[in-house]
Amino acid sequence: MFITSKLYGKVNISEVEEYTVTNSNGVSISAIPFGATLTKIVTPDKNGDMADITLNVENLDDFITHRPFYGATIGRVAGRITKGHYAIGGKEYQLDVNEGNNLLHGGPDGFDTKLWHIETEIGESEGRLIFTYTSPEGENNFPGNLWVKVTYTLTEQNEWIIDYEANTDAPTLFNPTNHVYFNLTGDIKQPILNHQLYLKSDFFAPLGEENLPSGELEKVEGTPFDFTTPKQVKEAVLSDHPQIKPLNGLDHPFALSPNAGEAQGVLYEPESGREVTLYTDCNSVVVFTHNGEVDDYTIEGAPARQYAGITLETQTLPDAVNQPGFGNIILRPEETFTSQTTYKFGVRTDKK
Ligand code: G6D
C-alpha cells in the first residue's frame, strides 16, 4: 500500500495535486483536494488488464469552468431543495438557488467548487486521503458554520470506503454524497447500457416538475425501476416509462433499508467481468445515467457521450427537509453527523 502525488492543475496561484493510493493488488483510487473529488479508480478486468472505471474531465480548468460534478463531493445538501426554501421550528430559511428557482447540489458555491485541505495516512492494509473543509455561516445562505471531514480509504480488499463526519454551531442542513460515475468497461466511449444492475430497493421516488421529487415513494415491482433481480441498465434507460422517457434515462432516487454489512447494490459489466458492490448506511441511492451528450468539454478528444457513466449517489432521499417521511437532514450543534458508503471492486471470470 503506497500513496503518490503529482501536479494536477492550478486554482489561481494554488497548485492542486492529485493523490493516488495503490494497494498490493494494483488497485488504486486517485483524488484531488478541489471538491474532494475522486479522479480515477483503476481496477483489473477478468484478463488482469487495468483501466480507469470512472468518468471524469481531463483537467482542472474544465472541472472549474463547467462544474460537471464528476467524482465530486456534493454538499452541504446533495440533490435538489424545492425553491431553496425550508422551515425548521417555524423559522423560515431561504438558500441561494442555482437551477431555476431550486437549489441543486449545495447551491452556486457548493462543496465541489471549494479547495479542501488534504492529509494522507498510510497503514499496512489501508491508505487514506483525509479531506477537511470549513463551510462558513451564510455560504450559499446556509445557517451555521459547518466543519466537514471526508475520508477516502482504500483497503487491501479493494474497497473504497467514504466516511463523512460533520459538526455545526447552529441548526443547519447536511446531506452529502459523492458524484462518481462508473463505466466498468474501462472505456468511456462505450455506453453503460449493457451494465447489469442489482439494487436492494422496493421503492423509488418519482420526479415531478423541474426534476423535484413528488414526495411519493412508488413500488418498483412491475416497473422498469425493479432491479431487485439483476438486469441490464438499458431495460430501464431505453424504456417508454413516463418517468424515464422524458429524461432519456434514469435520474431517480431508490429507497434503501440498509443493514450493516449487507450489499445494497451490485453493478456488473460482463465483457470486462468487473463488478462494484455497494454498501451504505444511507436511506437512498440516486442512479443517474448521464442521459445526454455534454459538449462543453472533450474527454479523449470527444464530447462526454450520452450514457458514458452511471452514478450510485448514496444520500438521504432528496429534498428530505421538505418531504415528510424522506428522512432527517437537519444537523444540530449537539450532534456529530457520520455516514459511511463503501464501493467494493471485484472481477468475475465467468460471464454470468
Ligand atoms: C442533472 O438531474 C441531474 C442530476 O441528478 C445530476 O446530478 C446532474 O445533472 C449532474 O442535473
What is the CB neighbour count within 10 angstroms for residue 189? 12
Give me the percent of the chain exceeding a pLDDT of 70.
99
Ligand 1, closest atom to CA 99? 11
* pLDDT score of 352: 53
Choosing from 18, 159, 179, 195, which is the catalytic residue? 179
Q: Whose CA is closest to atom 2 on ligand 1?
A: 251
- Phi, psi of 303, deg, nearest 5: -60, 155
Ligand 1, closest atom to CA 311? 7
Q: Whose CA is closest to atom 9 on ligand 1?
A: 290
Rounded CA gap, 133 and 149, in Å? Answer: 7
Closest of 269, 256, 217 to residue 341, by C-alpha: 256
What is the CB neighbour count within 10 angstroms for residue 46? 15
Choosing from 159, 269, 275, 313, which is the catalytic residue? 313
Q: In Å, how far are 146, 174, 213, 221, 222 from 208, measured between CA atoms? A: 31, 23, 6, 20, 20
Ligand 1, closest atom to CA 251? 5
* pLDDT score of 260: 86
Residues touching ligand 1 (Cβ under 6 Å) are: 69, 211, 251, 288
* Residues forming a β-bridge with 339: 164
* pLDDT score of 350: 76
Check: pTM over 0.85? Answer yes or no.
Answer: yes
Rounded CA gap, 241 and 249, in Å? Answer: 10
Rounded CA gap, 339 and 280, in Å? Answer: 8
* Cα 346 to ligand 1 centroid, rounded to whole Å: 27
Closest of 318, 352, 345 to residue 45, by C-alpha: 345
Q: Which CATH class is domain 2-347?
A: mainly beta
Ligand 1, closest atom to CA 69? 10
Is omega for the bond preceding 67 within 30 degrees of 0, making it cis?
no
* Residue from 80, 288, 307 to probe ligand 1 pocket by mutation (most atoms less than 8 Å from CB): 288
> What are the residues whose beta carbons fall under 8 Å from the beta carbon of 165, sequence distance 6 or more?
148, 149, 150, 151, 336, 337, 338
* Cα 211 to ligand 1 centroid, rounded to whole Å: 9
* pLDDT score of 211: 97
* Residue from 98, 104, 207 to probe ligand 1 pocket by mutation (most atoms less than 8 Å from CB): 104
- Phi, psi of 347, deg, nearest 5: -145, 140
Residue ranges in the chain modelled with pLDDT below 50: none
> What are the residues whose beta carbons fall under 8 Å from the beta carbon of 336, sequence distance 6 or more?
165, 166, 167
Written as nine digits, the cell of 218 is: 412508488
* Cα 39 to ligand 1 centroid, rounded to whole Å: 18
Q: What do you get for the CA distance between the two ends of the chain, in Å?
A: 32
* Cα 50 to ligand 1 centroid, rounded to whole Å: 29
- Is 290 a residue of the active site? no
- Is 117 a residue of the active site? no
